[in-house]
Amino acid sequence: MHLGHALSALVGFDMARRLGGRFLVRVEDIDVARCSEEHITGIFEDLAWLGISWEEPVLRQSQHFAVYSEAAQWLEAQGLLYPCFASRSEIWEAAAGGPLDPDGAPIYPGLHKTLSKSEIEERIGRGEPFALRLDLERALEAAKRRLDGRPLTFTELGESGEPSIIEARPQRWGDTVILRKDVPASYHLAVVVDDARQAVTHVTRGRDLFEATDIQRLLQVLLGLPEPLYHHHRLLTDGEGRKLAKSAGNTGLSSLRAGGVSPRDIRARIGLG
């Protein structure tokens, strides 16, 4: 963990204590190829050093792929998902010069959206890998019916705790991936399913995930899941305005700890007093 992670963890922990709630740590390790026990252990050590305690047992997403697949199968049965066999390079080439989603990826240009049932079955039969994408147009129509025509919104808690109603705009994500080619889940699907399973009432995370709430609220409505409150806190940036990241060489908490920095010092550095 680095200072940005410390801010996110402490904001959530402080809010849980203030509201008399539970603080949950979740290991979002659906990308099993990039996750390691060493990294997970290091995160737990850093959290404990900061004075943070959490509810056990900790949910690890890599152990619950069947749950996410079941949710995706329900969406598929409603005609809201379709298979996409296109490679990343094919998508980038077809979408060149087109709009990008909030993560900086091209909006899916619909390469395989209109494949016939027979062609889909043939390609699956040949063992071609595919992702399942959300048919956004159909999904928005289904959500509108579920909401009785009301707009799709979420409640955002500001820095002072004051709520505001934000209109979600899942259109800026396009036909996003719900089940990836390499793993039977996606970030958006896994987190909304887990938030409901763990009875999460408040989601605290960085401002860089603000737009992710658009597609997650849509999935919550489609799956009939409860709506939590959201607080997207400020981000820590370097001198050039870049979000802190260990990949950019920003110092980790373990190094700061070894250098004699205290948890109280960390709070001061990140502006939590």
Q: Which residue has tokens 């995160």? A: 43
Give CA torsion, residues 214, 58, 233, 153, to 10 deg.
Answer: 20
H/E run at residue 9: helix 3-19
Assess whether pLDDT exceeds 90 at residue 244. no
Assess whether pLDDT exceeds 60 at residue 33. yes
**Domain segments of the chain as ranges:** 1-62+246-273
pLDDT tens readout for residues 153-162? 999 999 989 9
Cβ contact 131:87 at 8 Å: no
Residues 249, 241: Cα–Cα separation, whole Å: 14
Assess whether pLDDT exceeds 80 at residue 71. yes
pLDDT tens readout for residues 172-191? 999 999 999 988 899 999 99
Residues 231, 205: Cα–Cα separation, whole Å: 7
Cβ contact 192:230 at 8 Å: no
State the DSSP code for 183.
S
Q: CA 227, 230, 236 angle in degrees (round to 5)?
A: 155
Give residue 50's pLDDT band: very low, low, confident or very high (50, 70, 90): very high
What CATH homologous superfamily does 1-62+246-273 map to? Answer: HUPs (3.40.50.620)
Nearest to 227 by CA among 209, 247, 213, 237: 213
Give residue 35's pLDDT band: very low, low, confident or very high (50, 70, 90): confident
Say what the pLDDT of residue 34 is.
Answer: 84
Say what the pLDDT of residue 273 is.
Answer: 76
Cβ contact 139:113 at 8 Å: no
Q: CA 68, 71, 73 angle in degrees (round to 5)?
A: 110
